[in-house]
Amino acid sequence: MQTEAIWPALGRSRPRVAVLASVNRPRVRAELQKLESILARSADIVAIDQDESFDFALTDVDLCVVLGGDGSILSAARRMGLHQKPVIGVNLGRLGFLAALGEDELGAIWPEVCAGKYPIDEHLMLQCAIVRAAQRQRGTPAGELPPSPLAYQLALNEAAILGGPPYSMLQIDLYVDGELASTYSCDGLIISTPVGSTAHNLSAGGPILQRRLQAVVISPISPHTLTLRPVVDRADRTFEMVVRQGHESVSAVFDGRVLGSLADGDCYRIGKAPVSFKMISIPEKGEYRTLRDKLGWGGNPREPKR
């Protein structure tokens, strides 16, 4: 889904901008002053957040500029929570699937971004909650969160059950809309968004999804049964990963962060979030070009006939 920038429709020629700068990265710290000067030419900078203290619930902004890498964008999505704002990422990190705009490219396109000339892509997010075995036994219906889930979070990339030491195989039951799909004997189980399909899911052998699809990928990590393959499903369903047999270091993880530990019988419940992650769509930064550049899809095109 694509939408348009809202601030021009409100009669504002200059958007209100929050700059999220991961100054723990030396490159971000070194480039911050120069990038701030570029941004201030066409926008009103409300805050330059260098310590994650900016509260999106208390201050209204039109646009969020993230300086860093993909990890910085995941952090921004987590911090915005239910108050998602359009994001443009300037890659001062390494790989840069999401933060695909180079620092030397910002000045050329920034005035047009601020004029609202570029569409905004909306991407699926997941809502993740831990439901303890006792809560499940009390009958919390599938598809609903318990009155007070132990832990709740929004995820942009993926939700997963992962095991640590002693690194023994896990037994995980997967329920989809309350129906048992399969029992996985594996090292872990990932439910990924299209945005996250090029992250942990890809490393586990899952497919790459077009980013604006309303779908998820279910990918087992090192399954014991070779017939268990990644599955693509609609995003508007409820997915419950229940630990049938685990050990003391099994965790519910979202976007690479631990949400909480899981004991036998505990459930990690995943559904479509009520909000979407919004990202400015930049010309010449399409998905296939990003895949070619970042994954080395060089190919071997034929020479044209003379």
Q: Which residue has the tokens 């439910």?
A: 191
Residue 219 gets the label, from left (phi > 0), alpha (psi -120 to 50) or beta, of beta
Active-site residue 51, yes or no? no
- Beta strand ranges found along 95-210 (DSSP E): 120-123, 126-131, 151-155, 158-162, 170-176, 179-186, 188-192
CA distances from 230 to 19, 30, 105, 155, 205 (A): 37, 42, 37, 20, 8
Round to whole Å and give the CA distance between 96 and 116: 24
Q: Which residue has the tokens 């009520």?
A: 274
Sequence-ordered alpha helix ranges (H) in 138-174: none
On the 0-12 / 13-18 / 19+ scale of CB atoms within 10 A, 217 is buried
Sequence-ordered alpha helix ranges (H) in the chain: 26-40, 70-80, 103-114, 133-137, 200-203, 287-295
State phi, psi for 261 to the nearest 5 degrees.
Answer: -85, 155
On the 0-12 / 13-18 / 19+ scale of CB atoms within 10 A, 188 is buried
Q: Which of 55, 60, 62, 70 is catalytic?
A: 70
- Cβ neighbors of 225 (< 8 A, separation 6 or more) are 185
State phi, psi for 172 to the nearest 5 degrees.
Answer: -125, 125
The catalytic residues are 70
